[in-house]
Amino acid sequence: MGKPLILVTNDDGITAPGLRALIKYMKTIGEVVVVAPDSPQSGKGHAITLDNTLFSAKITVDKEHGATEEYSCSGTPADCVKLALQEILGRRPDISVSGINHGSNSSINVIYSGTMSAAIEAGIEGIPAIGFSLCDYSWEADFQPAETAIKKIVNEALVNGIPRGVVLNVNIPNLGKKDLKGIKICRQARANWKEKFDKRTNPMGKDYYWLTGEFELLDKGEDTDEWALANGYISVVPTQFDLTAHHAIQQLNSWDF
């Protein structure tokens, strides 16, 4: 049996250090093909390009340590996966991994995440998929402490499979290797963003806004991703893309339509 084909993508862009680290780790497991945005696409969620054309180019970012093949894409993370599966790869990947994101995608952040949306897009197509994020927004973030855990999670997914309709949301605390306590399977913590807009006026007298806010944790459970990260564990949340609130169906059926 040959090496598994691994599709690697992200939302921080094809030159992002987190993506380069993930390529390096995945090359020890299988054949790696990268299709990633040609510019940062953070916070784009599951947006797809419908009102413009998409462009893709085969490129070389790192000749010595790069993937088997790499392609930049002018679209969103979800566009990258669609294009990879329909036009570029020529065969189905055995697994798709997204990241390593610069910054957390735990709790409510998963809704906005381009990293996780890329994984979800692969999952929709029936491909095992994992999104990886490090809780460090710095461009100089150190991804090496999580290398062993990332490889372990991917290898376990390849051996055991991921339940259909589920992708894995993996978040890694910003700690040294000796301080990482292990891996915990968690649920998504209940949280919200207390959002504000910083209103300013440009020299032409036109108002403009910067979105700001504070993360508000509403969950004290010790089985959540936020608890795991705060206590030194890598969190793994099985995330589904069936958004049906099944528990609410019975109540809504009691309404008088």
**Is 12 assigned to a binding site?**
yes
The dihedral through the CA atoms of 48, 105, 92, 7 has a sign that is: positive
Average of per-residue pLDDT across 170-198: 95
Task: Check residue 1 and give its pLDDT.
Answer: 61
pLDDT at 9 over 90: yes
Q: Is 22 part of any domain?
A: yes
**Number of domains within the chain:** 1
Mean pLDDT of the chain: 95
Determine the pLDDT at residue 76. Answer: 97
pLDDT of amino acid 64: 74
Tell me how far apart the alpha carbons of residues 30 and 5 are, in angstroms, rounded to a whole number: 6
- Averaged pLDDT, 28-36: 97
**Structural domain includes residue 213:** no
Would 135 be classed as within a structural domain? yes
| Amino acid in position 221 | G
Q: Are 114 and 40 in contact (CB under 8 A)?
A: no
Q: Is 256 annotated as a binding residue?
A: no
CB burial of residue 169 (10 Å; 0-12, 13-18, 19+): buried
Q: Any binding-site annotation on 98?
A: no
11 carries a ligand binding annotation: yes
Q: The CATH number of the domain where 101 resides is what?
A: 3.40.1210.10
Provide φ and ψ at 121, rounded to 5°.
-60, -40
Average pLDDT score over residue span 215-239: 96
Range of the domain at 78: 5-190+222-253
Q: How confident is the model at residue 66 (pLDDT cuts 50, 70, 90)?
A: confident
Collect all residues with Cβ–Cβ distance below 8 Å to 246 and sequence separation of at least 6.
none
Let me know if residue 130 belongs to a domain: yes
- Do the domain assignments include residue 41? yes
> Is residue 112 very low, low, confident or very high in pLDDT (cuts 50, 70, 90)?
very high
Residue 26 in 3-state DSSP? helix
| Residue 107 within a domain | yes
